[in-house]
């Protein structure tokens, strides 16, 4: 059963007016010029080369590093640049092709935890996405042995509440579609649906089509600074990007495909009206004053989601390309610094925090990963 809450009528009217105004401006504006493919490639390599140069040693397998590597692998796919592949390969080898490393199944957990017994927690499982990609390149089964062990154990349980926070949809949904293709086991897609339905039941807002970060942020028990529903940009960015990845991998005729597509399209529609004139999205989507100013990670995930939809025929180019291009202008003209550092990334957290400083020096691996996803899709679009 979906959770439904009353959405203030004034805010509905304001959001609708904003959306209609944005659409009107886009339809009447002159056609926007696409960036040149060589410039997109230069921008992608500028950001990724800077990150790898400044962070030469591989990190642990937890989500923030793994999220970067999901972008790095896309950068490799579009550039065929061997050092990018080598960088992710070294990271996998350092982490022994595992997420959390406990072998004591009786103590495996999936609430929040950064220790090795939280094997079933999605922030450790996102690493499997990269290991699967590297397996497909090398055909080395040791890279996916742990992923299959963990996910098949998880699917053998009766629990469906594994994804209790919005980020988890990006962390693990693509793992399950990827392992379906590797193994041919239909159970991955059935359990994917079971877990997704649970996540929707506690976080999805029917009136806006957006996701609260987790159950404790659901309106009206939690409100933004000005009393609105508080949708965290990066949280919804994780979901929007995760849905794009699932739709990319899910069989075209799968019985649940339309369900994921409906949620993805609704998010795409809502987010148009919440984009700021400067091309970015604020940290609290419906309340820009809650935490005003630039933010890159959510914006980059939304940009990726839009460009993927345009590239694959799910989003109408005339309507959504101006949105993506405006966001790209922000990402490359404001967020990306001259030396290659990607700025204005909100630090690790779970909500929009009033007064938190996010500036040109605010950078993070997961935000760079999101930027690489967007840049790779932009390159596919213009190439």
Mean pLDDT in runs of 10 for the chain (383 residues)?
A: 37 41 38 90 98 97 98 98 98 98 97 98 98 98 98 98 98 98 98 98 98 98 98 98 98 98 98 98 98 98 98 98 98 98 98 98 98 98 95
| Residue in the structure block whose two tokens are 């159950």 | 215
Give the model confidence (pLDDT) of 275-310 as tens digits: 999 999 999 999 999 999 999 999 999 999 999 999
The three-state (H, E, C) secondary structure of 277-318, written as one string: CCCCCCCECCCCCCCCCCCHHHHHHHHHHHHHHHHCCCCCHH
Could you give the count of Cα atoms lying within 13 Å of 299 in the half-sphere of its Cβ? 31
Q: What's the pLDDT at 212?
A: 98
Catalytic residues: 167
Separation between Cα atoms, residue 45 and residue 57, nearest integer Å: 19
State the distance between the two ends of the chain, measured CA to CA, in whole angstroms: 44
Q: Which two structure tokens, joined as six digits, stand for 38?
A: 């060589």
Give the contacts of 4 (CB within 8 A, at least 6 positions apart).
206, 207
Q: What's the Cα-to-Cα distance from 322 to each of 36, 228, 251, 307, rounded to whole Å?
A: 16, 27, 29, 10
Query: Rounded to 5 degrees, what angle do the CA atoms 210, 121, 358 make?
Result: 55
100: left (phi over 0), alpha (psi -120 to 50) or beta: beta
Separation between Cα atoms, residue 27 and residue 31, nearest integer Å: 9
Give the DSSP letter string of 87-149.
HHHHHHHHTTT-SS----GGG---SS--STT-TTSHHHHTHHHHHHHHHHHH--THHHHHHHH
| pTM for this model (two decimals) | 0.92
Q: What's the pLDDT at 31?
A: 57
Q: Which two structure tokens, joined as six digits, stand for 168?
A: 């988890």
Of 162, 263, 283, nearest in space to 217 by CA: 283
Cβ atoms within 10 Å, residue 77: 16
């Amino acid at each position: 059963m979906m959770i439904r809450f009353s959405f203030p009528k004034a805010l509905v009217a304001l959001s609708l007016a904003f959306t209609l105004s944005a659409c009107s401006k886009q339809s009447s504006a002159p056609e926007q010029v696409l960036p040149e493919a060589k410039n997109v490639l230069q921008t992608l390599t500028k950001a990724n080369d800077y990150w790898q140069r400044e962070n030469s040693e591989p990190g642990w397998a937890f989500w923030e590093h793994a999220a970067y590597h999901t972008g790095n692998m896309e950068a490799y796919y579009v550039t065929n640049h061997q050092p990018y592949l080598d960088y992710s390969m070294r990271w996998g080898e350092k982490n022994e092709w595992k997420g959390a490393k406990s072998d004591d199944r009786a103590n495996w957990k999936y609430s929040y935890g950064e220790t090795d017994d939280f094997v079933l927690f999605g922030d450790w499982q996102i690493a499997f996405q990269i290991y699967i990609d590297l397996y497909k390149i090398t055909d080395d089964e040791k890279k996916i042995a742990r992923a299959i062990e963990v996910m098949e154990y998880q699917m053998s349980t009766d629990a469906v509440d594994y994804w209790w926070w919005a980020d988890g949809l990006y962390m693990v949904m693509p793992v399950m579609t990827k392992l379906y293709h590797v193994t041919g086991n239909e159970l991955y897609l059935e359990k994917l649906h079971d877990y997704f339905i649970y996540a929707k039941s506690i976080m999805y807002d029917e009136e806006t089509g957006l996701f609260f970060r987790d159950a404790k942020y659901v309106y009206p028990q939690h409100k933004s600074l000005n009393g609105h529903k508080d949708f965290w940009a990066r949280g919804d960015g994780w979901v929007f990007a995760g849905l794009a990845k699932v739709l990319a991998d899910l069989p075209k005729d799968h019985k649940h495909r339309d369900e994921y597509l409906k949620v993805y399209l609704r998010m795409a529609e809502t987010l148009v009206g919440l984009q700021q004139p400067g091309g970015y999205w604020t940290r609290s989507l419906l309340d820009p004053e809650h935490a005003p100013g630039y933010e890159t990670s959510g914006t980059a995930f939304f940009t990726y989601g839009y460009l993927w939809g345009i590239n694959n025929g799910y989003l109408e180019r005339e309507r959504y390309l101006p949105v993506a291009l405006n966001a790209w202008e922000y990402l490359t003209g404001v967020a990306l610094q001259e030396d290659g550092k990607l700025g204005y990334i909100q630090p690790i957290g779970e909500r929009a925090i009033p007064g938190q400083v996010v500036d040109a020096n605010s950078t993070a691996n997961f935000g760079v990963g999101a930027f690489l996803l967007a840049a790779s899709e932009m390159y596919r679009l213009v190439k």
